[in-house]
Amino acid sequence: MADQLSAGFSSQGTTVPDALFAGEYPRAMRTVTLTGGPYVRGTLLGNITASNKRTKALAASADGSQVPESVLAVDADGSGGDVQAIVYLTGEFNPDKMVIDGGLTLATITESLRKIGIFLRKVVPA
């Protein structure tokens, strides 16, 4: 009977949870143009005002990207030319699993991210 139940199904691989999500707050996603990299899932991104392209949010930048505004949803590399990538515009994220520029501290970004629907919450392992 088990063979009959599994007929027509095949393995689609496995998923390894990365603990990026810290809760069930709704995650809104959008496809954006990414420049620079390579970046990994969970990188905190800013928007370059003049080009409307996303890049890693760096405190030392002065082009608009110093203001964090989204979280990269997938690994992406725009170092060889701009690429399309999916970002999270809202959600609850574990800052311990994110890539955040050392010049940005949780104390300085948590409130501004909260205002746009991105919540940072450390996850305590079970």
pTM: 0.85
**pLDDT score of 124:** 77
> 9: which residues sit within 8 A by CB, 6+ positions away?
none
* Domain around 109: 19-120
CA 20 to chain centre: 8
Examine the pLDDT at 74 and tell me if it is beyond 60: yes
Q: Distance between CA atoms of 36 and 79, rounded to whole angstroms? A: 4
In degrees and rounded to multiples of 5, residue 10 shows phi and psi of: -140, 160
Number of domains in the chain: 1
Instruction: Tell me, yes or no, whether 7 lies in a domain.
Output: no
Instruction: Tell me, yes or no, whether 38 lies in a domain.
Output: yes
Instruction: Tell me, yes or no, whether 33 lies in a domain.
Output: yes
Distances in whole angstroms, Cα of residue 45 to Cα of each of 7, 38, 77, 91, 94: 44, 12, 13, 14, 15
Nearest to 117 by CA among 100, 92, 98: 92
Instruction: Tell me, yes or no, whether 67 lies in a domain.
Output: yes
Tokens of 4: 């009959």
Instruction: Tell me, yes or no, whether 70 lies in a domain.
Output: yes
Burial class (CB in 10 A: 0-12, 13-18, 19+), 32: buried
CATH of the domain at 98: 2.40.300.10
* Percent over 90 (pLDDT), the chain: 83
Instruction: Tell me, yes or no, whether 12 lies in a domain.
Output: no
Instruction: Tell me, yes or no, whether 125 lies in a domain.
Output: no
**pLDDT score of 116:** 97
Instruction: Tell me, yes or no, whether 5 lies in a domain.
Output: no
